[in-house]
Amino acid sequence: MNYLAIVGSNADKSTNRMLLKYMQKHFEKQANIEICEIKNFPVFDESDITNVPEPIKKMVESISSSDGVIISTPEYDHSIPAALKSVLEWLSYVSESLYKKPVMITGASHGSLGSSRAQNHLRQILDSPEISARVMPSSEFLLGHSLLAFDDNGYLSDANKVKELENDFSQFLQFSDEVNQLMKKHPVKRTGHQLWELNK
């Protein structure tokens, strides 16, 4: 499996980035995980939608060629960061790359709730008609007190959290395979969505 993992923060220091890097190493024998940064992505601007930024074009290509997407989000004021929302707005306006695409949501936060409310908002956004991703159900990996969660080598310190993440990722491997097989057998042509042309 080849997955694109999106760091849902534009911060220079992010425990969500650390979480995805840990997953990249920990699951390297099960899947190839490519990490995508959104730090330098421009803010979504509907008035200039025909001039699609190069980072967005590259992300669209990476998502389209992947078997699934992993998004790790922090929680700012009970929701996802503006930078992540902006990227999703770009994707929904200029591509269908997330349509029916398997998505796994994870999240790390400095507080005790581990980005639970942000993850709920992200699910709602990904389920919107403009995006229509296939988010893995009945699973949420919440890493609270994330500043204390990693050792000096970037590994998760809590063995119970490691087991929980392993179980969630195992489910995602199966979920993404099933969704992709279903889409190959029964492709669905999208209708009623205004898709802007990407500048080649």
DSSP 112: S
Average pLDDT over residues 83-99: 95
Give the alpha-carbon dihedral of 176, 32, 127, 165, to 10 degrees. 80
Per-domain boundaries in the chain? 2-185
How sure is the predictor about 22, in pLDDT bands with cuts at 50, 70 and 90? very high
Residue 195 has pLDDT above 80, yes or no: no
Cβ–Cβ < 8 Å for 19, 146: yes
How sure is the predictor about 139, in pLDDT bands with cuts at 50, 70 and 90? confident
pLDDT of residue 198: 47
Average pLDDT over residues 16-42: 97
State whether residue 6 is helix, strand or coil. Answer: strand
How sure is the predictor about 182, in pLDDT bands with cuts at 50, 70 and 90? very high
Average pLDDT over residues 31-52: 90
The CATH number of the domain covering residues in 2-185: 3.40.50.360
Backbone angles phi, psi at 175, to 5 degrees: -60, -50
pLDDT of residue 58: 96
pLDDT of residue 8: 97
CA distance 33 to 140: 19
Beta carbons within 8 Å of 97's beta carbon, 6+ residues apart: 59, 60, 63, 64, 91
pLDDT of residue 80: 97
Structure tokens of 182? 């279903």
Average pLDDT over residues 54-74: 97
